[in-house]
Chains A and B, each alone.
Chain A
Amino acid sequence: DQQVKQNSPSLSVQEGRISILNCDYTNSMFDYFLWYKKYPAEGPTFLISISSIKDKNEDGRFTVFLNKSAKHLSLHIVPSQPGDSAVYFCAASTDLYSGGGADGLTFGKGTHLIIQP
């Protein structure tokens, strides 16, 4: 059963416009959410995160919104640039592990963002 869902396998956006990537989750115990960007043949790189006590976090062109009641988060990229073309993964974590450490991230299947000139 998929606990983190990215329902759009791909998304095409014109350069300069806003890109909105969506993610839904089912596990109400998730309390930390992250977005990663991945180019082919490379490891994912961390973009931005948000804790469940917040509903918005912003870092430059990237903003993540969290709607806990809907179990939904989204990543906004404004303005979109050609270098943003990549696969974006949504990930979530709980901190319930007794040792106090992260017990691993649960990833969605990814959304391939294509920025068109």
Chain B
Amino acid sequence: DVKVTQSSRYLVKRTGEKVFLECVQDMDHENMFWYRQDPGLGLRLIYFSYDVKMKEKGDIPEGYSVSREKKERFSLILESASTNQTSMYLCASSKTGTGESWATEAFFGQGTRLTVV
């Protein structure tokens, strides 16, 4: 079974702090993603990576950065946390497909509920 593990289930941080959210997958997937989920807004893509040291902006990258130094690990960084970054953060990974489509299903971690006070 694919396992995507996020380092924390719950985090409380202060405004202005630098925050690191860690994600590890154990299935040698090429692609990794960070989403946030907010009520009424669904899941929105923050950043994704399709290879080590590669990163691409998603729909809402402002206020975030990412790091992918190893294939299995994808970190989300809040440079200076703000209250509007209080959210559920979800990491996902997927392999690059073959055949019908390059895209395949993404597997999600359990989520990190971040509260910025």
Contact = CB atoms under 8 A, between A and B. Distances in A.
Contact of B106 (A95, A97, A100, A105): A105
A94 B103 contact: yes
The interface residues of chain A, by DSSP majority, are classed as loop
Interface in B97-117: 97, 100-111, 113
Contacts of B113: 41
Interface stretch (A11-19, A44-52, A61-69, A75-83): A44-52
Interface string B76-102: 000000000000001010101100111
Interface string A73-105: 000000000000000010101110101111111
Interface in A32-67: 32, 34, 36, 41-46, 49, 51-53
A34 B107 CA distance: 12
Tell me if B's interface is mostly helix, strand, loop or mixed. Answer: loop
A83 to B, nearest CB: 18
Q: How large is the interface on B (under 10, 10 to 19, 20 to 34, 35 or more residues)?
A: 35 or more
B28 interface: no
A51 B101 CA distance: 7
Q: State the 7 A-B residue pairs at the shortest beta-carbon distance, nearest first.
A: A43-B108, A95-B102, A101-B50, A109-B42, A107-B43, A32-B103, A93-B103
